[in-house]
Structure 1
Amino acid sequence: MSHTVLRGKPNASQLYLDEVLNEILTAKGVVPDAKERDRLILAEIAFHCLKKRPNATNMINGSTGESFTNEQILKRAVSIARSIMARGAAGNNIMVVMRNHQNLFSIYWSLLLSGALPFMMDPSTTVYELGYFLQLLEPSIVFCDREYYNDIKKSLDDLPDLKTEVYICNEDDLLEDFINGHSNDIDSFRIPEGNPEDTILLLPTSGSTGLPKAVLLTNRGIVAHLPTSWTYHTKFPTPTDLVMVLTTAQWMTFTMKITTCAVYHIPILVTPKKRTVEHVIEIIENFRPTWTFFNPAFAKGLLAVVRREQIGSLETIILLGSLVTPDLVKEFKEKLHPDTHLCNGYGTTETQGFIAVTDRDAEASSNGWVYNILHYKLIDDNGAEVGPGSNGELYVKGECVVKGYYKNKEAYSESFVDGWYKTGDWFHLDENERLHFLERRKFNFKFRGCHVSPEEVEGVIGKLPGVHESVVVATEIGPAAAVVLLPEYDLTREDINKAVDSTLSDHKRLHGGIAFVDSLPHTHSGKLKRMECKKLIEELLKDGKCF
């Protein structure tokens, strides 16, 4: 039995990971078993896998066309790690503000290999957000691209007590200055001692409501998640040929893909350029990735212009990050090869990755089975646990559920009880025990004494041809919506109201009005910033533009 499994039987992906861990233990002269496998830390696992295949492609920069081998990435990571340790920064918080390019990969691995604690931030973060996290984390070092250097220095000027050093890393000569002659010899490098319970990575939450938090991710939790992306694959190693990652470093999907692809020997395609539909189509056509994920809003924009043959290489696509409607799944499938696995994924930063991903036999509305690395239960409005055929809030528990937020015990106590993470998401559990997402209860509000689910109303609006995205918020006069239209569509307020009024109860209708906007504020992971959306709509109401 794989040591990562809490329920049921291990799958082929988990059994392959066991083989890798057994190989590491044998090389150390340790007799492999579940207890010994559980003691291995992520840095040790990844270092072994990258070192084992030095000439294999590690990553491809889709903007420049350059490719880099495991050895090239690892050699630079080892020299950076030695420099970090020589500066006495091992064990310290280190912030990373970089776009997706080869030096980011080396920086990421160097931090894990040195025992430093990386905090990964989105490159488009604001000066306010930088200042907030600098003050919270007090990092000893910030690694950044040149374009963010001035904003970081400006934020640090407001925090004179911080002794934080800032290094530009997207220019090789400046990165060489940081390395300053430290050896890149891989064979002589030794990974510091570590414990499976150690926090090894900090990631910001999405901040869709309130201020973002820094989540504490552990060795054991990330290792347990290494097989989950490949649960429905059967060929190992290299269950897929090329993974395309469009999310930035602060997002769990990015860091998880770097780690799992290293262990499962899969090259990664990234781009430092801004993620536009046109650029994504270009790199898909040029490099033919076989596996990727999109958030639903981006997927909808992609479907409006892409041709079937342009995305024909994709064998697996996971939609995640917000509500996935059956209509979107149906529209997407019409443009894909019949054998392409289109999945409705569900996961959180608090679980260090996916909770469930749709299997091939599941219907379009399903999120699939909860992974066997988690215990789970559904709790109804009365606080009672319910079984198949019922609806309730999803609670999950396991080693991959995070143990806290950095310097924020209050936030942890609000979302966790006895080790169970209360997701805030409402699901239907069908007779086969597959999940079906219903709504995000933490976004709900009341109007005229009745509950309104914004995502339910947004789902109705989103079905209308020409709607790219919408958000619904509470106002004093009732639910109101801001709507982004696709180019060349002429949808009216009357069209939207007619669709909502004919579908939903009176208290869910848009009594607060409708505003058409060019864009909506999003978190770096692509989720709506609902507090900012609410402020936007309140301003539009005052200006008479929401009616």
Structure 2
Amino acid sequence: MAIIDFFDRGRSLNPQGTAFVMDGQRWAYEESYGITCQVAQALVADGARKGSHGAVLAGNHPLAWMCVLGLWRAGLAWVPLNPRSSADESIQLVKGFDVEVLFFQKAYAPVVEVLRSACPGLRKLVCIDGHVEGCLSLPDWLAVQGQSVPCVESEPDDVVAIMPTGGTTGLPKGVMQTHRNLGLSVLNGIINTTYAPGERIVNLAAAPMTHTAGFLSLSASARGGTVVVLTKPDPMSLLDAIEEHRVTELFLPPTVIYRLLETPGIEQRDFSSLRYLMYGAAPMSLEKLKHALAVFGPVMMQGYGQTEAPGSIAFLRPQDHFLDGRIAPDSRLSACGLPSVTNALAVMSDDGRQLPQGESGEICVRGDIVMKGYYKEPQKTVEAVVDGWLHTGDVGHLDVEGFLHITDRKRDLIISGGFNVYPGEVEQVLWSHPAVLDCAVIGVPDADWGESVKGVVELKPGFSIDAQELIDLCKNKLGSVKAPKTIDFLSPLPRSAVGKVLKKELREKYWGDQARRI
């Protein structure tokens, strides 16, 4: 099944229904389908070859996502670009991943001009919403195209996306994802967000559609649901959109959920339409998760995945957050979920042995969800995928009930005076303080201990606290070895496009040119 088939299935189920909504404007499935066909026809007529690469540089807009769908329909691979990234970061992706076609919004024309000069492989530039000198205008380009589907054959292992890794430890790698990989991930989304036949589905795309939210919306589109596109994802706009459109599902990274929970009057807002508030991409505070369950109701759902195995390694479903009618204990809430039935999962030792329940090791996954490899980096592919097992770099264990727990990233492990300190354990304690909005725990150089534990804390607006109070809190909960020796305050913490705190960026300040395990 080709990845575009999921959208086309929604169109066949609900041709005159609303596929997308943004700022009062609506696009029916039939209209959206026609636009994606025109984009594909224009690409093919212009000489785009199956397997070549196209990118979209835009804020949240249905037309930008339709351009991605058009790329897929024409047999091209999509390279996501983050509109918040610097021009240099975009150059790395466009040049490094051999992008030939770029769709963009006029607001990013200055960046596009830099890309045009720096990336000679860019042969086609298309402005989605206006006219820019030397570039095509999307309406003009499509005006001469029909709406028939171009004849492009697809195979399950054809690459349909080259997704940049988070870049938290260096230059991003290009993860080659296929129809098979992404299709299975969409199916996992459908399996884990169940609706009765004919039940309304409204997905809120608050994160960038040309990054994560668009892909996550496909399980709703495949069932003929509506995707509400939010252009300004501030807390009040999010809350208003949920109420106005009777949203049934959305994805938010933990840091956005934290900010929502701090919104005055949130307890009086109407969340009765919500079925699934999906969270992931970064660890979540247990205290804030309990708060979210109290505010939003039994709708929280965690998804654990990686760019190399997108979105489907494990799920903590809404019902898994409860036990005997009450919010489950921390031993359950700390899990990232039950392993997906569509792939194999194992916890392995450093020498490749599969470990029994309760023992910690590296989380490894095998199956159709695993990437095809890293673009132009065969050696890194061989290092990441061994005997068919993707080594995630996450350390964790399976408990007696079969739930998967992530202890931390292997590269984030702090070794202080010979003792292993997992930052996630310390972060949970820091998050429990009422003044802390978010935090990160890292290892910094120490002449005596090799590394010492440092906390970097983002406080809630209007709060102040002495660092020693947080250090003492950790000592009382964890003991002196795991407690931070020092704490810095920083607002905001540096984050990736999907909301992960960039610990590498935090560490660089302290390590400089010194070598450190990553």
The answer on 1:277 being equivalent to 2:251 is no
Q: How big is the shift at 1:346?
A: 1.1
Bigger mean CA deviation after superposition, 438-447 or 115-124: 438-447
User: Aligned runs of 1:376-387 on 2, under 5 Å?
Assistant: 376-380=345-349, 383-387=352-356
User: Aligned runs of 1:301-316 on 2, under 5 Å?
Assistant: 301-305=259-263, 307-312=266-271, 313-316=273-276
Aligned residues: 489
Contact 2:247 / 2:274 at 8 angstroms: preserved in 1?
Answer: yes
User: Aligned runs of 1:151-230 on 2, under 5 Å?
Assistant: 151-159=111-119, 161-171=120-130, 174-184=137-147, 188-230=148-190
Q: Specify which of 505, 510, 515 is matched with residue 532 of structure 1.
A: 505
User: Aligned runs of 1:463-542 on 2, under 5 Å?
Assistant: 463-477=432-446, 478-511=452-485, 513-536=486-509
Write the distance in 2 (CA, Å) between the matches of 1:100 and 1:183: 26
Superposed CA offset, 1:138-174 (max 9, x none):
2221111112221122133234x43433221134993
Structure 2 residue runs of 5 or longer lacking an equivalent are: 322-331, 447-451, 513-518
Write the distance in 2 (CA, Å) between the matches of 1:148 and 1:116: 23
The answer on 1:47 being equivalent to 2:8 is yes
Q: How big is the shift at 1:232?
A: 4.0
What SS class does the counterpart of residue 376 from structure 1 fall into? Answer: strand
Contact 2:101 / 2:123 at 8 angstroms: preserved in 1?
Answer: yes
Partner in structure 2 of residue 81 of structure 1: 40
Contact 1:199 / 1:216 at 8 angstroms: preserved in 2?
Answer: yes
- Which one has a larger percent strand, Structure 1 or Structure 2? 2
Write the distance in 1 (CA, Å) between the matches of 2:21 and 2:299: 24
User: Aligned runs of 1:333-344 on 2, under 5 Å?
Assistant: 333-337=293-297, 340-344=298-302
Superposed CA offset, 1:265-294 (max 9, x none):
221112222x22222123223222111122
Cα gap change, 1:463/1:538 in structure 2, threshold over 3 Å: closer, same or farther? farther
Write the distance in 1 (CA, Å) between the matches of 2:497 and 2:403: 29
Superposed CA offset, 1:466-493 (max 9, x none):
1111122222232222211111112111
Q: How big is the shift at 1:454?
A: 2.1
Write the distance in 2 (CA, Å) between the matches of 1:53 and 1:240: 11
The answer on 1:374 being equivalent to 2:343 is yes
Partner in structure 2 of residue 349 of structure 1: 307
- 1:261 maps to amino acid: A
User: Aligned runs of 1:109-124 on 2, under 5 Å?
Assistant: 109-124=69-84
The answer on 1:60 being equivalent to 2:34 is no
TM-score, length-scaled by structure 2: 0.89
Partner in structure 1 of residue 392 of structure 2: 423
Write the distance in 2 (CA, Å) between the matches of 1:445 and 1:484: 21
Cα gap change, 1:487/1:44 in structure 2, threshold over 3 Å: closer, same or farther? closer
Contact 1:81 / 1:113 at 8 angstroms: preserved in 2?
Answer: yes
Contact 1:220 / 1:399 at 8 angstroms: preserved in 2?
Answer: yes
Q: How big is the shift at 1:44?
A: 4.0
Runs (4+) of structure 1 moved beyond 4 Å? Answer: 236-240, 536-539
Partner in structure 1 of residue 364 of structure 2: 395
Contact 2:19 / 2:227 at 8 angstroms: preserved in 1?
Answer: yes
Q: How big is the shift at 1:210?
A: 1.5
Contact 1:238 / 1:264 at 8 angstroms: preserved in 2?
Answer: no
The answer on 1:265 being equivalent to 2:224 is yes
Structure 1 residue runs of 5 or longer lacking an equivalent are: 1-39, 540-547
Superposed CA offset, 1:84-136 (max 9, x none):
00111132211111112121122011111111221111111111111111221
Write the distance in 2 (CA, Å) between the matches of 1:515 and 1:238: 52
Partner in structure 2 of residue 235 of structure 1: 195
Contact 2:221 / 2:227 at 8 angstroms: preserved in 1?
Answer: no
Partner in structure 2 of residue 69 of structure 1: 28
Partner in structure 2 of residue 410 of structure 1: 379
Contact 1:346 / 1:357 at 8 angstroms: preserved in 2?
Answer: yes
User: Aligned runs of 1:421-460 on 2, under 5 Å?
Assistant: 421-460=390-429
Cα gap change, 1:410/1:255 in structure 2, threshold over 3 Å: closer, same or farther? farther
TM-score, length-scaled by structure 1: 0.84
Cα gap change, 1:44/1:227 in structure 2, threshold over 3 Å: closer, same or farther? closer
Contact 1:230 / 1:239 at 8 angstroms: preserved in 2?
Answer: no
Bigger mean CA deviation after superposition, 277-286 or 466-475: 277-286
Identity of aligned residues (%): 22
